[in-house]
Structure 1
Amino acid sequence: MEIELLVIPEWVITVNSRNQVLHHHAVAVDDSRIVDILPVSEAEKRYRPRQTVVLAQQALLPGLVNAHTHAAMALLKGLADDLPLMEWLQNHIWPAESRWADAQFVYDGSRLAIAEMIRSGTTCFNDMYFFPEQTAKAVQEAGIRACIGLIVIDFPTAWGTGPEDYLQKGLALHDQVADDPLLTTAFAPHAPYTVSDDPLKQVSHLACEMDMPIHMHVHETAFEVQQALAQHDAVPLARLDNLGLLDKHFLAVHMTQLTDEEIALLAEKGTHVIHCPESNLKLASGFCPVAKLLAAGVNVALGTDGNASNNDLDMLGEMRTAALIAKAVAHDASVVSAAQALRMATINGATALGLADTIGSLEIGKAADMIAVDLSALETQPLYDPVSQIVYCANRNQVTHTWVAGKALMTQRELTTLNITELLATAQAWQQKIGATS
């Protein structure tokens, strides 16, 4: 049988329901999907691939799902480091965005971020930013997969005049990309402290009607919770529940301030939590109780947040940080194992985005969103368990290949759809422009 692609790695890390790691197996790809996973000897007899990629000493695994990003903020990387969240936002980031965040900024920043993500093994990202049509354009040109956030916020910006305008423009974009198999959309109200009740009710209604995710920062800091108690006589999570937002559509980002009762509520409602450990550490926002959430049955996925608060988009690093912090917070070295951290970075993110039937694991019938990680380096030898080695030892420079829907976006560390020389020139031009006024 003729097929497009046969990939023969040392290990196939499936992240299926049994967390199978297969040795000396091949993955057969045709028409953008995985058509077979079988021993190499059988694959060579059964298939006539137009291309064969042999990856000796490399692991093939599902592409990583970055469940919370602000891609365009790649152009603000390092602009205002080492500051607490509200000072960072109000005195530095929001003024910079007010001055610079136009359509060109978002397009250029998104392209830079997408290149970094492809080189780091991310094949799908969930974004939240202004001018989402520009992010979508960058996504389509690069060939990566993405969920584009339809931003909602109470105050005017360069992209819109207020909630009604944002929703109208967002719904137009949703219709525009509806036929693109690599693009989905989510409602993206910024945060409880920047979006009032009426727009949130409207978002809740639309999300249920259209079966779309809602992606929102929630309980990011203790200050946010205290401020909400003073203003609304309720913590943000309770307010959102009263407004009808907490259900299977809702992706609550950060969640560093949670009681046991709130964790039980999240589990009951089927709400997803997006954990951004490195951003939370850098902004001293607090610690998400990941082990408790997982034990309660809450789906926890991983995100990097934006370049301005991380400062990288490295999901391999995020997995390692998430696993280590969870152990320290829980005072239990057995929680959030390497296998669980990998699930948080793959199938759990796909589940949160409503894409678990398409991506997040290497299984027959799913899209061929795959990455290869070279484990032959001194830093990842000797090797007893490839999953542990990827989570605790490997770094993003060991990602050698990235495929989305069977199309190679990176081969042997070389990008195939983006030009690094052009991206570097764009980044330097923005550095000179923004740096001259900051």
Structure 2
Amino acid sequence: MERVDSLIHARWVIPVEPEGAVLERHGVAVRDGRIVAIAPSAELQARYSAAEERHLGEHALIPGLINAHTHSAMTLLRGMADDLPLMTWLTEHIWPAEQRWVGEAFVRDGSTLAMAEMLLGGVTCFNDMYFFPEATAAAAREAGMRAVLGMIVIDFPSAYASGPEAYLEKGLAFHEACRGEALIRPVLAPHAPYTVAEPWLERIREHAEALDVPVHIHLHETAGEVEQSVQQTGKRPLQRLDELGLVSPRLLAVHATQLEAAEIERLAAAGAHVLHCPEANLKLASGFCPVGALSAAGVNVALGTDGVASNNDLDMIGEMRTAALLAKAVGGDAAAVPAAQALRMATLNAARALGIDGAVGSIEPGKAADLTAVSLGEIDLQPIYNPLSQLVYAATRRHVTDVWVAGAPLVRDRQLTTIDAAAASRRAAQWGERIGAADRGEG
């Protein structure tokens, strides 16, 4: 018999590719962190001997979820300034707090807290945009989690860098330091067209082409952002980026709630990607991303949570449900974003946007064994007519029991194996006391 490291059997394997497939009483063989085979459980047991064998009797085994856009360290700002418009929230609360508190320790502790939450919710990879990506990378390495980390660029000085030139220098050094790592991938992450001047956006395009990495940027997040751009330049932000050569297959356009028909066509023609964050957009009243129209035009749409300061969680199963329901209401079409598409947006579409779909995003031989097991045997999920629909419309992150990244178990029986949850919670509480007192003017 052929030797493998592990066999993972489940009532249902939902591979994502082909879309909508549900394989009953199947399993996955894993060796050296990669998927060797997917087949009926009896066939796997006849062919392979394994060092470890898991039987997940009433579970769905899915690809690890990918959070396509977040600011992980901002977990430490969860709930600090709720129920405020975007610019009030940013300028009067978030940015002042960041100026005072953000440093390596803040980012490391906040990122660790975020990764604990994401892993327990079935997320195996996240695409981050924040200061001190080196600290997030260190936390990700300790946790064993896959991370795509932004080389942040913004016009404003911070504790991390004095200005755009310094941000770029630090980012490029970070990229070089991560060269060859299997789980960490740096990408360029200019904050937004209204916070990064055009000469620097042009420099970013040049570096993106030279390094062959995506450009991760907030774009058309609110009507106010678009109006301000038109008033100041006579052009909408997407047009400005297009003239700078940034509208291409490298573009990861976050939010995209304010799109005209011609702009959707342009994104499709360019092969650009949209990173949709439905719950954050709802909470900040930013608008609605036209997911149905984008998908119909052929634009790849992936799902993210945004940061918890504007969501207020990192729950990708919840985000799938919200995305599917919102698309139906916005498009006036009950068939818009069916369950299979919602799952794809949170897995393979996200991997494609991040340029890692050759390694993750679906359960296929040769890909990394980034896997999530969701228990569908709970009483609140009965009866089950369609496991895929049940996963998206009825399951919650509390139903996640096991998570693997590159074959390594990072959550086992609902317990983290690489992160000390109690210690992460204690550090978060300490940060919360200090930051909350300062925001209230008490310190």
Deviation at 1:17, TM superposition (A): 2.9
The reply on whether 1:130 has 2:131 as its aligned counterpart is yes
Q: Which amino acid aligns with 2:321?
A: R
The reply on whether 1:233 has 2:257 as its aligned counterpart is no
SS of corresponding position for 2:426: helix
Normalised to the residue count of structure 2, the TM-score between the two structures is: 0.98
Give 1:211's aligned residue: 212
Instruction: Report Cα offsets for 1:260-294 as digits up to 9, x if no partner.
Output: 00000000000000000000000000000000000
- Counterpart Cα distance in 2 of 1:70 and 1:345: 17
Q: Which amino acid aligns with 2:121?
A: S
Instruction: Report Cα offsets for 1:321-378 as digits up to 9, x if no partner.
Output: 0000000110010110000000000000000000111000000000000000000111
- Counterpart Cα distance in 2 of 1:238 and 1:318: 29
Matches within 5 A, 1:10-409: 10-409=11-410
Give 1:437's aligned residue: 438
Deviation at 1:18, TM superposition (A): 4.2
SS of corresponding position for 1:436: helix
Deviation at 1:435, TM superposition (A): 1.7
- Counterpart Cα distance in 2 of 1:9 and 1:60: 6
Q: Does 20-29 or 299-308 show the bigger shift?
A: 20-29
Deviation at 1:434, TM superposition (A): 1.1
Deviation at 1:40, TM superposition (A): 1.0
Deviation at 1:208, TM superposition (A): 1.2
- Counterpart Cα distance in 2 of 1:160 and 1:18: 44
SS of corresponding position for 1:288: coil
Unpaired runs of 5+ residues, structure 1, are none
- Counterpart Cα distance in 1 of 2:345 and 2:436: 36
Deviation at 1:89, TM superposition (A): 0.3
SS of corresponding position for 1:27: strand
- Counterpart Cα distance in 1 of 2:86 and 2:130: 18
CA contact under 8 A between 2:19 and 2:341: conserved in structure 1?
no
SS of corresponding position for 1:401: strand
Unpaired runs of 5+ residues, structure 2, are none
CA contact under 8 A between 2:19 and 2:340: conserved in structure 1?
no
Aligned-residue identity in percent: 57
Q: Which amino acid aligns with 2:247?
A: L
- Counterpart Cα distance in 1 of 2:436 and 2:301: 37
Q: Which amino acid aligns with 1:250?
A: L
Give 1:425's aligned residue: 426
- Counterpart Cα distance in 1 of 2:245 and 2:416: 44
- Counterpart Cα distance in 1 of 2:340 and 2:42: 28
Q: Does 423-432 or 347-356 show the bigger shift?
A: 423-432
Deviation at 1:21, TM superposition (A): 1.1
CA contact under 8 A between 2:69 and 2:303: conserved in structure 1?
yes
SS of corresponding position for 2:362: coil
Q: Which amino acid aligns with 1:319?
A: M
Normalised to the residue count of structure 1, the TM-score between the two structures is: 0.99
SS of corresponding position for 2:162: coil
Deviation at 1:19, TM superposition (A): 3.2
- Counterpart Cα distance in 2 of 1:110 and 1:41: 41
SS of corresponding position for 2:438: coil
Instruction: Report Cα offsets for 1:374-414 as digits up to 9, x if no partner.
Output: 00111111001111001000000100000000000000100
- Counterpart Cα distance in 1 of 2:19 and 2:339: 14
**What's the Cα RMSD here?**
0.6
- Counterpart Cα distance in 2 of 1:116 and 1:385: 27
- Counterpart Cα distance in 2 of 1:21 and 1:357: 21
- Counterpart Cα distance in 1 of 2:387 and 2:183: 29
Aligned residues: 438
Deviation at 1:190, TM superposition (A): 0.2
Deviation at 1:424, TM superposition (A): 1.2
- Runs of 4+ residues deviating >6 angstroms: none
Q: Which amino acid aligns with 1:282?
A: K
SS of corresponding position for 1:368: coil
Instruction: Report Cα offsets for 1:65-120 as digits up to 9, x if no partner.
Output: 10001000000000000001000000100000000011100000000000000001
- Counterpart Cα distance in 2 of 1:46 and 1:200: 54
Instruction: Report Cα offsets for 1:11-30 as digits up to 9, x if no partner.
Output: 00000134321111110000
Instruction: Report Cα offsets for 1:123-154 as digits up to 9, x if no partner.
Output: 00000000110001011000010100000001
SS of corresponding position for 2:285: coil
